[in-house]
Amino acid sequence: MLIIGLVLVAIGVEAIAAWWLKRNLYEVRDSELSLGLALGWVISGAIGGSLLAVMIAFGYAHRVFDFGAKPWGGLLLIVLADLIYYVWHRLNHRIPWLWASHFPHHTAKRLNVLASIRQGWTDVFSGTWLFWSSLGFFGFTPMQTGVYFSLLLVWDACVHSEWAPKLGPLEWVFVTPSHHRVHHSLDPAHVDRNFGGILILWDRLFGTLAVEGPQRITGFGLIDFDADRFSPAQIAARQWRVLLAGRARVSQT
């Protein structure tokens, strides 16, 4: 909850700075929808997080390795957990029932800190929490994995930015605002690119990297969906209705 509090403070600071600098980073309707989706996500995320903690605790009790006790265990945890994040995120754009939960996040038209917690409400049902459940068998405790997810939440808040410049050499290793603008871009050439959570190395390794051009990207969202016409609950349920109707498709185009 402390990390959520920090993110909320960051939202307030960014919104005030945007108003002071006369930058239109927050639109009223887009922000209303982001807040509504974020509230539902906090509740569903708490349930999913609890299930994941139970699964990791079970794995830790029956661990095959004890990497978490090693001096370099923390670094290995970040690498392994972030690789799982890459796989999970990429599959979110490939598998309809995962996309149904991930879809609400991509309906944001503005890329700001608030958009980072504009998430779906159904990760518990789509099985998001199962992806990281194997970490316990590698000797990582729920508390240790919790540190990774806290870091990921803060990192995610930082990279949802329309105004941050490219970060030089850091662009080679880490996910940056520039990389994530590409991921949320309306440009068809950018669809299904830059899936990394903290490390962009996975996209480089698996061929899903796309680099932002000299002009900063300013158009975000989904080409065929105007979120402003719907409520948070309708957005959260939309792709599940499409899936049940047998018309499911994935990705942003």
Of all residues in the chain, what percent are helix, strand and coil, respectively (each to 5)?
A: 65, 0, 35
Per-residue model confidence (pLDDT) at position 22? 74
- In angstroms, what is the C-alpha Rg of the chain? 18
Contact status, residue 170 vs residue 184, Cβ threshold 8 Å? no
Per-residue model confidence (pLDDT) at position 239? 96
pTM: 0.94
CA distance 178 to 175: 8
Average pLDDT by consecutive 10-residue portion of the chain (253 residues)? Answer: 72 82 87 97 95 98 98 98 98 97 98 96 96 98 97 96 96 98 96 97 98 95 95 97 81 52
Select from 76, 63, 84, 86 the least CA-distant residue to 175.
86
111 contacts: CB under 8 Å, gap ≥ 6? 160, 161, 162, 180, 181, 184, 220
Residue spans of alpha helices (H) in 24-107: 28-61, 73-92, 96-102
Per-residue model confidence (pLDDT) at position 38? 96
